Amino acid sequence: MNTTPNPARLTARWVGVLMLSAFLLYGIGSALATSAAAPDSGGAGLLLVAGAAMMLLNSAAVIAIGLLMLPILRPRTPIIAVGYLASRIFEGVVLAIGVISLLTLSAGAIAGNFLAYNIAMTGLGIGSLFFCVALFRSRLVPRFLAVWGFVGYASFALGCILELLGVAGAGLVSTVPGGLFELFFGVWLIVKGFNPAAITAPITPIAPVALRTFASQS
């Protein structure tokens, strides 16, 4: 009996692991790096390097998520598949620019990283709205997860936009539904994977749909 997981199952596990890893890498890395880059920290070199390395690993992880999802989504939603990859690349690159800002140890290092974070998360939030539409329409995961993700990413994008406009604290509050979704979604993919029926069903590419269609069916 062949017990080797099929490629879609392996992909789901890797995406789940990367989502959880990215959450931890950026959270811990950002805490270390920003504390070390603070003006009164004395430039704690080891903490700064460790934190920056973790943040850069996060950038690699989020780009890898987009790459892994490309062959899963492309046969079903080719435009969304490429768009989601683009949003993940945008996220990873802009977050890496924030890391470079921290490494300069300049007076505006922390502010530069904060700006890069909110721009990156705005791009991710908007791009992931269409990702959740694809999940909903394709039934790769239960539809409640797709709806949860859509609401979470919409909240995330709005909060980060408000932060960029000067509404302090909006980004932090808005991360809760989206952050919980990514944690739950990561665990779901590791444990359950993609819906086998959706993976094996004949593929009919989904034409681009308006967000109102998604809302009406949810």
Q: What mean pLDDT is predicted for residues 68-94? A: 96
Q: What share of the chain is helix, strand, coil (3-state, %, to 5)?
A: 80, 0, 20
Please name the residues in contact with 195: beta carbons below 8 A apart, sequence gap of 6 or more.
139, 140, 141, 142
pLDDT at residue 42, as a whole number:
58
Q: Which domain holds residue 38?
A: 7-217
Q: Give residue-wise pLDDT tens across range 152-205.
A: 999 999 999 999 999 988 888 888 999 999 999 999 999 999 999 888 776 665
Looking at the structure of the chain, the number of domains it has is: 1
Is residue 1 in some structural domain?
A: no
**Domain presence at residue 2:** no
Residue 132 belongs to some domain of the structure: yes
Q: Look at residue 95 and tell me if it is in a domain.
A: yes
Q: Is 63 within a domain?
A: yes
Report the C-alpha gap between 147 and 152 in whole angstroms.
8
Q: Which helix (H) or strand (E) holds 2?
A: none
Indicate if the alpha-carbon torsion angle 70, 152, 124, 65 is positive or negative: negative
On whether residue 149 sits in a domain, the answer given is yes
This prediction's pTM: 0.87
CA distances in angstroms from 191 to 10, 69, 128, 135, listed in the order given: 11, 17, 22, 17
Q: Is residue 208 part of a domain?
A: yes
**For residue 210, what pLDDT is reported?**
42
Contact assessment for residue 102 and residue 113, using Cβ atoms and an 8 Å cutoff: yes
What is the per-residue pLDDT for 203?
66
The pLDDT tens digits for 113-134 are 999 999 999 999 999 999 999 9
